[in-house]
Structure 1
Amino acid sequence: MRWLWKRERLFLIVILLAGACLTGLALYSSDHYVFVYSGDASSHLVRTRQFVDSQQTGIHNVGTAWLPLPHLLLLPFAANDFLFYNGLAAIIPGIACLIGAALALYGVIRRITGSRSIGLVGALVIGLNPNILYLSLIPMSEATLLLFLSAAAYCLLRWLEQPGALRWLGFCSATLCCATLSRYETWPLPGALVLISIYLLLTRQIPGGWGKRAAVLLLSAASSLGALAWLLWNFTEYGDPVQFAKAIYDIGPSDSRAGLAGHPVTVLSLYGKTVLYMFGPVLLGLGLAAIGGKRRNRKLLLLYGFLLLPPLFTLVSLERGFAQMDEWWWNSRYVLPLGIPLLIAGSTVLHHLWSRSAGRTGKLAMTAALLSFSLVQVAVPSVGVITFIDAAKGFFEQSTYATEVGERLAEVYSGGSIALLAGHSQGHRIMIPSGIPINRFRIVSERDSLELHSMPWERNRYFILSKDPDPEAEALASYWLDHFSLLSTHYMVVSENPEYLLLERKEDRLIRTASANVVP
């Protein structure tokens, strides 16, 4: 591990660790729910917890829409009560992923430019970006994507430099397996690695006989094992290898899909604006300037082509309606993969500018201009940290009421089952602040219609009813809002806010009240 402790790497680790910890502390001091502002963040956290705390624990909680690796990495921390109920479970693995990605990008940039200083600056630009810092502190899949995509880029570069060193091809294949089990936009990359391998074989850049050629093809093809395993899982569990695609398509709202699907110009405009606000005009300008630079060697072009496939996959998904974004920064995190090739290309231009600079002052000025955008994002509201804005917007529109009812439930809960008629996303937001074991909750969906149209009070002591539920619970919630008089014969209202009704079974409420009034 001697390589890890060279001066620049150690400095990078210390700076990023301090920056991430201070950022997390500042955010948590402002609001204890800050790391689960995003609806997806709370759902990722609850989904992970359900492996060990639910009415049906076990591997089936992997599900279908979300890829499993981020949840499996999060599991040891989500299983801890303190970390889970305070929304802190993702901090340790997230910071580790951030530092690992920065070290990999440092290695890529240093090997391309030949400058350790440029490598350090580039890694700090990504690692101290407030958008990426926030994504690294919350229970989402972007931190693992950044780590494994950056690691794959480093391993691929090392292999392209030494095509005969198959260990780097093996490492690249392994990191791609992990990447394809983290985010879907990496799924084109195993095919790209196979094509690169074929190109190197056809151009005789890999020494050795037929045995080594076969090993190259096998190692590159092995990078698809993660995606194949996911297809197999969906087939064995749901009878359809692409069940996840249907689930993903059904998640997004149709109005956002209609605004982008079939409109490539709108998609490009929105994506480009998001990139500008995510990474800043200086880095974007340097990256674009690299396009008009001197001709690069083919191996570097192969690396750029490889890294541009995930952003291209996202653009196609947006245009076809499988992914959604909007002008209010919803899903702004989707542009994250473009930051890697943008950073590498921009670093080559920065190195060229440094080589033309006469003194240290000019170099420092260029570095300050590149790093200053992080401060601008935090200090200037009109720019802002768009990934945080996206998460906070969703939280303060409705989820404060979900948090409120969860906290109220914690105050009155005296055992028994809790029926949540609000939808999965809203239900997950209620679970975390309640501090109650997840196995006491039952999120009601349409398949429970027979029971919930008859006698929910037979099985559930508490009933949480949303006035504006997610689509999956809308029909049942409307039924009970229309038939609330029937519900009120068995339940009494414990708490109500503009979004939710918290009900407790009358007989249990009366017993608990009587017990509380008994004088010892």
Structure 2
Amino acid sequence: MTSTIAAPPPVAGAPARLPGWREAWARLGRPVTGRQVPGTVVILVVSLLVGFAACLVTTSSGINLAYADTQSHLAISRRIFDSKAPGFTQLGTVWLPVPSLILIPFVQSLWLWHTGWAAGLLGMICLAGTACGVYRISARVGHLRAGRLTAVLLVLANPGVLYAFSTAMTEPVLIVTMVGCFSGLAHWVTSRRNLSAGEMMVFSGLPAAAATLSRYEGWVLVFGGTFVVLIVAWRKKRSFFYAIKMASAFGILPLIAIVWWLVYNFAVYSNPLEFMNGQYSAANLQKAVADAGLLAYQGNAGLTLWSYNWAVLETSGLLTVALGLAGALVLAWRRGISDDALVIWLMIVSYAFSLLSLYLGQTHMNNDQTLPTNWWNNRYALSVLPFLAVLGAVLVDALRRVPRIGAGALGLVLVLLGAQTAWWVQDLDRNAVIAEATGYVSIKEASGATAAARFLSENYDGGGILIDESAAGNALLPEIGVPLAEYYNRSAGELFDEALAAPYTHAKWVFVTTADAPELSETGVADLVYDAITRDSSFDTRYRPVFAQGIYVIYERLGG
């Protein structure tokens, strides 16, 4: 005898469950309910897959290690535990610490570190977080499925974003933390329930704190975000106490992060502003550029706008910028400075910071529309893309709601987005971020850097390596792939000084770049090893050159 168990009756009011992709598609259009934003998991999975595919392409070609900054960040993260002088102070002060700290779990594997996959895995998480963030912001301000997906597609269909998020540069961490902060603020602003100060601190203040310790754009976010919270909190309850409480909840963790950074600089370098005016500060490293008169936009508002806006255009794409500008007009017309609109307007802080930084000469950026005409630091403009993506969502959502023309307008946007993506795919160098990367690949090949790194990687058999990894062109340690404890370099502190004075008793291998650039000595990035061996009359009697190409020479100690 067989028995059957009847299926439970459907719950009244529950939506019918759809099969597979239809259920996923339906979720993308469902309204927000409290903390739940339907469709977030769908975006998470899709963006992880897209990020993984991008990493496969970049790591297989090696272009993910093109930027010197990428290799430097990977080296910083690993030398905290793999170095002749391991420890927390290996973070240095050139860059803010969060991107290096969160890379540490991924660089435990020498292979992941050497290939750059360590950064790629972290970048996949950052890409997924960014895509989910713009999706959730769009959903929380009331956009329908078309608007939400527009925001996501403008991020995921950008080859510059996909490339940058496969590297160890600081932009992916900055962008995901800033978007996380904006998403948290959008939740607070639009929630029917009065969120507590603790929730504000966790969902908005914590990512803002992470942003402040990722790049200095995050510092401007704190001030702008605090101002927005004050305004919205006052509007909500007309209470000064409530406004101050919520603004404090937002700003306290970022403030602690900033103070910690100042204290760290003082404790390690006896100067709380070492990051601003020290030997390796941006101001000092740009001294040679400034002295050569190549910061044409410094103090010139017109050239600053020209240079940076071209960077935005050539990283985000013409369609993205056009949708963003049109979306800004729609947002201003329909919502003005309403509470939810203020959150979107706040996303402009990175654009404002970059303009100010260029104008003051604190950063340096070149592209094919500047003088000199080359590619330099255009990736900074990527932080504007989430703002443009959400503005594009504003426009598409408004068009989708127009009777009779809504579907057609949406179709046109999708066709144009496909055309922009196809135009990029035909020549990826049309995106400024990738053009700069391929330029670095060519420079490294022409100078001998790539061949030198490969030679040392294939021939190193122990005995220690003397190298000045901070010298211009020597940021190659991950590419070489030798454990960092094998190196005598600047991060080794006194051991490096001892090895410079007596290389024969310390290192079997000596790696130098012979570029003659006196201005590098003024900025602290001349090759100290090359300088030392040229003044050592006995060096040639104890070492022999085993590799020489371009400006790179590798020596091996005689007798092993």
Q: Quote the residue 2:194 is aligned against.
A: 164
* Alignment map for 1:107-126 (pairs within 5 Å): 107-126=136-155
Offset, 1:450? 7.4
For residues 489 and 353 of structure 1, the distance between their equivalents in structure 2, rounded to whole angstroms, comes to 77
Q: Quote the residue 1:199 is aligned against.
A: 231
Question: Which region of structure 1 is more displaced relative to structure 2, 393-402 or 122-131?
Answer: 393-402
Q: Deviations over 1:253-273 (max 9, x none)?
A: 514752221222111111111
Question: Which region of structure 1 is more displaced relative to structure 2, 311-320 or 219-228?
Answer: 219-228
Q: Which amino acid aligns with 1:490?
A: R
Q: Quote the residue 1:18 is aligned against.
A: 49
Question: Which region of structure 1 is more displaced relative to structure 2, 418-427 or 2-11?
Answer: 2-11
**Quick one: structure 1 residues 40 and 332, their matched pair in 2 at CA, closer, same or farther if it must change by over 3 Å?**
same
Q: Which amino acid aligns with 1:308?
A: I
Q: Deviations over 1:267-289 (max 9, x none)?
A: 11111111112122222112222
**Quick one: structure 1 residues 133 and 273, their matched pair in 2 at CA, closer, same or farther if it must change by over 3 Å?**
same
Q: Which amino acid aligns with 2:200?
A: L
For residues 235 and 35 of structure 2, the distance between their equivalents in structure 1, rounded to whole angstroms, comes to 34
Q: Quote the residue 2:321 is aligned against.
A: 284
Candidates 37, 42, 48, aligned match of 2:66: 37
Q: Quote the residue 2:549 is aligned against.
A: 497
* Alignment map for 1:53-452 (pairs within 5 Å): 53-162=82-191, 164-166=194-196, 167-170=198-201, 171-201=203-233, 203=234, 205-206=236-237, 210=241, 212=242, 215-222=245-252, 223-246=254-277, 247-252=281-286, 253-254=288-289, 255=292, 258-293=295-330, 294-298=333-337, 299-327=339-367, 328-356=374-402, 357-358=404-405, 360-380=407-427, 384-398=430-444, 401-421=448-468, 423-424=470-471, 426-429=473-476, 431-443=477-489
Q: Which amino acid aligns with 2:549?
A: N
Q: Which amino acid aligns with 1:16?
A: S
Q: Which amino acid aligns with 1:230?
A: W
For residues 102 and 316 of structure 1, the distance between their equivalents in structure 2, rounded to whole angstroms, comes to 27
Q: Quote the residue 2:506 is aligned against.
A: 459
Q: Which amino acid aligns with 1:373?
A: Q
Q: Quote the residue 2:370 is aligned against.
A: none
Offset, 1:159? 1.6
For residues 293 and 129 of structure 2, the distance between their equivalents in structure 1, rounded to whole angstroms, comes to 35
Question: Which region of structure 1 is more displaced relative to structure 2, 9-18 or 330-339?
Answer: 9-18
**Quick one: structure 1 residues 4 and 389, their matched pair in 2 at CA, closer, same or farther if it must change by over 3 Å?**
farther
Q: Which amino acid aligns with 2:329?
A: G
For residues 262 and 27 of structure 1, the distance between their equivalents in structure 2, rounded to whole angstroms, comes to 38
For residues 257 and 444 of structure 1, the distance between their equivalents in structure 2, rounded to whole angstroms, comes to 29
Q: Which amino acid aligns with 1:109?
A: S
Offset, 1:11? 3.6
Q: Deviations over 1:177-236 (max 9, x none)?
A: 1111111111022222332333345x45237795x5553243023132222221121122
Question: Which region of structure 1 is more displaced relative to structure 2, 398-407 or 231-240?
Answer: 398-407
Q: Deviations over 1:399-433 (max 9, x none)?
A: 6622322222234323212111464453331x223
For residues 9 and 260 of structure 1, the distance between their equivalents in structure 2, rounded to whole angstroms, comes to 42
**Quick one: structure 1 residues 86 and 112, their matched pair in 2 at CA, closer, same or farther if it must change by over 3 Å?**
same
Contact 1:49 1:78 in 2 (8 A): yes
The two structures have a TM-score, normalised by structure 2, of 0.82
**Quick one: structure 1 residues 407 and 478, their matched pair in 2 at CA, closer, same or farther if it must change by over 3 Å?**
closer
Contact 1:40 1:425 in 2 (8 A): no
For residues 192 and 359 of structure 1, the distance between their equivalents in structure 2, rounded to whole angstroms, comes to 35
State the SS of the aligned residue for 1:426.
Answer: coil
Q: Deviations over 1:64-95 (max 9, x none)?
A: 12111111111111121110111211111111
Candidates 468, 488, 491, aligned match of 2:540: 488
State the SS of the aligned residue for 2:555.
Answer: strand
For residues 148 and 95 of structure 1, the distance between their equivalents in structure 2, rounded to whole angstroms, comes to 14
State the SS of the aligned residue for 1:464.
Answer: strand
**Quick one: structure 1 residues 347 and 240, their matched pair in 2 at CA, closer, same or farther if it must change by over 3 Å?**
same
**Quick one: structure 1 residues 292 and 453, their matched pair in 2 at CA, closer, same or farther if it must change by over 3 Å?**
closer
Contact 1:158 1:168 in 2 (8 A): no
Contact 1:39 1:391 in 2 (8 A): no
For residues 259 and 152 of structure 2, the distance between their equivalents in structure 1, rounded to whole angstroms, comes to 32
**Quick one: structure 1 residues 507 and 144, their matched pair in 2 at CA, closer, same or farther if it must change by over 3 Å?**
same
Contact 1:256 1:326 in 2 (8 A): no
Offset, 1:6? 7.5
Question: Which region of structure 1 is more displaced relative to structure 2, 157-166 or 261-270?
Answer: 157-166
Offset, 1:134? 0.7
For residues 407 and 342 of structure 1, the distance between their equivalents in structure 2, rounded to whole angstroms, comes to 41
Contact 2:140 2:190 in 1 (8 A): no
Contact 1:113 1:348 in 2 (8 A): no
- In structure 1, stretches of 5+ residues that fail to align are 509-520
Q: Quote the residue 1:515 is aligned against.
A: none
State the SS of the aligned residue for 1:507.
Answer: coil
Q: Quote the residue 2:12 is aligned against.
A: none
For residues 264 and 419 of structure 2, the distance between their equivalents in structure 1, rounded to whole angstroms, comes to 45
Structural RMSD (CA)? 2.9
Contact 1:108 1:154 in 2 (8 A): yes
Offset, 1:119? 0.2
For residues 236 and 420 of structure 1, the distance between their equivalents in structure 2, rounded to whole angstroms, comes to 27
Offset, 1:354? 2.3
Could you tell me the percent identity over the aligned residues? 23
Question: Which region of structure 1 is more displaced relative to structure 2, 495-504 or 18-27?
Answer: 18-27
Contact 1:69 1:182 in 2 (8 A): yes
**Quick one: structure 1 residues 448 and 323, their matched pair in 2 at CA, closer, same or farther if it must change by over 3 Å?**
farther
**Quick one: structure 1 residues 479 and 243, their matched pair in 2 at CA, closer, same or farther if it must change by over 3 Å?**
closer
Candidates 465, 471, 474, aligned match of 2:526: 474
State the SS of the aligned residue for 2:237.
Answer: coil
- In structure 2, stretches of 5+ residues that fail to align are 1-32, 368-373
Q: Quote the residue 2:40 is aligned against.
A: 9
Contact 1:398 1:499 in 2 (8 A): no
Question: Which region of structure 1 is more displaced relative to structure 2, 478-487 or 85-94?
Answer: 478-487
**Quick one: structure 1 residues 72 and 215, their matched pair in 2 at CA, closer, same or farther if it must change by over 3 Å?**
same
**Quick one: structure 1 residues 410 and 185, their matched pair in 2 at CA, closer, same or farther if it must change by over 3 Å?**
same
Q: Which amino acid aligns with 2:101?
A: L
**Quick one: structure 1 residues 8 and 208, their matched pair in 2 at CA, closer, same or farther if it must change by over 3 Å?**
same
For residues 326 and 458 of structure 2, the distance between their equivalents in structure 1, rounded to whole angstroms, comes to 59
Question: Which region of structure 1 is more displaced relative to structure 2, 471-480 or 136-145?
Answer: 471-480
For residues 422 and 48 of structure 1, the distance between their equivalents in structure 2, rounded to whole angstroms, comes to 14
For residues 256 and 390 of structure 1, the distance between their equivalents in structure 2, rounded to whole angstroms, comes to 22
Corresponding pairs, count: 502
For residues 420 and 184 of structure 2, the distance between their equivalents in structure 1, rounded to whole angstroms, comes to 29
Contact 1:424 1:443 in 2 (8 A): no
